[in-house]
Chains A and B, each alone.
Chain A
């Protein structure tokens, strides 16, 4: 009897549970129905607004420190000079003109019609204060500008550098030298600059809300407001554009581009950047000291295949370090490439292919190739090279490292390294040549100590005239190419996808500095 009672009670309890869950599921469905009717992506207001999604996030908007350059990219701040994206030369911006014939004493004339977004005039004193703050806040800027003294006089600045420094003006393109009103209290969260957009709110790591600055000196923006959001996941960025939550997406996922384009109403733009993916050669290794071995490595790199298969066509095969459209990029003679040519070079170096192994004096030719995952293309380039080298009997040992700069500088047990460099970020070759090929350069991982090349770079460091500088830069690039100090693989492209039915006047720049401008509009 007890057993029957207990069984009945258990059954009624199970019935009770079923009813409870039915009610719960019904509630969930009702709730989801309510959410659907609310909608999320719709923006019913009639104001001209654009949502932009960028691929890096930042927690600080301090224009002098933030290495993601968001204040400049979002149109809050501007620099004294800018990069002319068409001619790839330095152009006036907040500065009207400049001169510095000896490369040490510079006179910069400022525009007189510029005001900060709080209404204050941007005169030489304000610019001096801003430059001094940048120098104080950033040791990198101290090193980059080499400023000794700044004097302000009305709308003219007199700047002396510690040593003759001809690329001084091009260094002012750096977004970390943005001009801001330093008297403002909260520069980290609310910098006040001279750009076309005022920062209304900032959610660290998430987004900026921007509003048009009506008294912008170069003509107020046609937009009322802009949302500048961050998302570091490429897939999620592409989906955000598809869902209509954003209008412009910076660097969408390459694999999603085909489906984005097929969707209709979405425009995909790409342009080659100043970056080069290169094969760095460690010239301190015995085998790499032979130029024919370096030539063989260079010949083995199948650039077009890498561009087509790894970058899906969104890159330009590279010959030298500089983008061909730069004024100081040499025009190179076409070199024979391919595995047959590589074998020829190696034979000239005394190697022979025996039993499928490339060897010299019985010693097989092997390379240790470093790569790192921070740039996803690089490990894949290493694998393609490894496979191509195997075809001619060269064993390549790929070693994954974490911090390439640190590893390559302190360890010399490698032969090759896939590395990525910006070669002319501010329209001048001085940075790249000094850092990468001068014996004192912090990025001279190949260990280049070529007196002739060092002399060219030293001369470049003393030359003010732009034509002469271009000629010297070209000479240095030619030397690097002829002596195969490094081998250059490709210039990756910047890809931007946007809603073509809405966005007007978007320009994908090669420098990647200028994004939200006063010209940007909606249709």
Chain B
């Protein structure tokens, strides 16, 4: 285990360095810089001379490698810099919005699990029955309906017509329901079908027949053998798509005025607020890396075959 973790640690270092360099290049090579935003040209009279002077002062005219080196030097000292637009420390801004985003992502995952596990299982157990057909239609609808539209329908239904739930803001658990439901349903469509096909595959395996021959009860066969065996492919897809889940949070955050980091980063990209973009990419890379590592480690417990193989090589 220690060997695996230390190898992962070295990987993470290389990965971080690589991702910060590539993202730095992409962000800086994109047209535009934050100077016009800083000078508030939309409302204040500014001369071209002042624009050039500020560019020079902020070091935007220096070669990219020098700019990156400067950023990296500060980063090593755990200084992520300050936002060009608000002047606040980047880490403070990210940490302020991160809990809301994590909360929203977690809420969506719970909805996703609550929908996809029963629906996927029932579709597999009652293959080609009406429940399978309904689940198929729901999955197609879920994949086809844009999440912002679904969100608006929910707001209209639960916020306006029934007046059950708040339509925006972050005031405790109740305000988390609608955004989580919207995002959770939008992502669950993939997992329902994935779990169904993975379960069908498991149920047709030899070891299921062997378990039945051994006289194990059906619930035990289903939960301890078939379901467990069907999880690795689902978890793999989840690990890979976590990044896009966090990206997808942006639309929901805007719609429900949920103050997370998704909206923050969209604004920072528009305003070319480089330190904030870099900080966000780094934090997201760390989160995605941690989740993927957990996914890798989970295989050892979910897939007995893998554990046996590892023992064999040792």
Contact = CB atoms under 8 A, between A and B. Distances in A.
Is B truly associated with A? Answer: yes
Interface of A: 2, 6, 9-10, 12-14, 16-17, 21, 24, 32, 35-36, 39-41, 57, 59-60, 62, 65-67, 137, 139-140, 143-144, 174, 176, 188, 203-207, 229-233, 235-236, 239-240, 242-245, 374, 402-403, 405-407, 409-410, 421-422, 425, 430-431, 434-435, 438, 440-444
B43 A174 contact: yes
Interface string B94-131: 00110010000000000000000010011001100000
Contact of A57 (B126, B148, B257): B257
A24 B41 CA distance: 58
B151 to A, nearest CB: 8
A406 B159 contact: no
A17 B174 contact: no
Interface of B: 31-33, 36-51, 54, 85-88, 93, 96-97, 100, 118, 121-122, 125-126, 148, 151-152, 155-156, 159-160, 162-170, 174, 212-213, 217-219, 222, 254-260, 263-264, 270, 272
A239 B32 contact: no
15 contacts: A24-B118, A39-B164, A41-B163, A57-B259, A59-B96, A59-B97, A140-B44, A143-B39, A144-B45, A205-B264, A206-B170, A230-B257, A232-B254, A239-B156, A239-B160
Contacts of B167: 236, 239-240, 243, 245
Nearest to A206: B259
A243 B164 CA distance: 10
Nearest to B209: A6
Given A140-B40, A143-B39, A143-B46, 12 more contacts: A13-B218, A21-B122, A35-B174, A57-B259, A59-B264, A206-B170, A233-B148, A236-B167, A244-B163, A403-B272, A442-B47, A444-B48
Nearest to A230: B257
A426 B218 CA distance: 76
Contacts of B36: 403, 405-406, 442
A17 B122 contact: yes
A6 B212 contact: yes
Nearest to A274: B43
A54 B269 CA distance: 22
A21 B168 contact: no
Contacts of A434: 45, 47
A112 to B, nearest CB: 31
B8 to A, nearest CB: 34
A60 B86 contact: yes
A204 B43 CA distance: 24
A236 B39 contact: no
B168 A35 contact: no
A458 B222 CA distance: 84
B85 A67 contact: yes
B87 A62 contact: yes
B148 to A, nearest CB: 8
A41 B167 CA distance: 10
B159 A243 contact: yes
Contacts of B96: 59, 204
A497 to B, nearest CB: 15
A241 B209 CA distance: 60
Contacts of B33: 406
Contacts of A244: 163
B43 A422 contact: yes
Contacts of A57: 257, 259, 263
Contact of B47 (A40, A59, A410, A440): A440
B42 A422 contact: yes
Contact of A203 (B125, B170, B270): B170
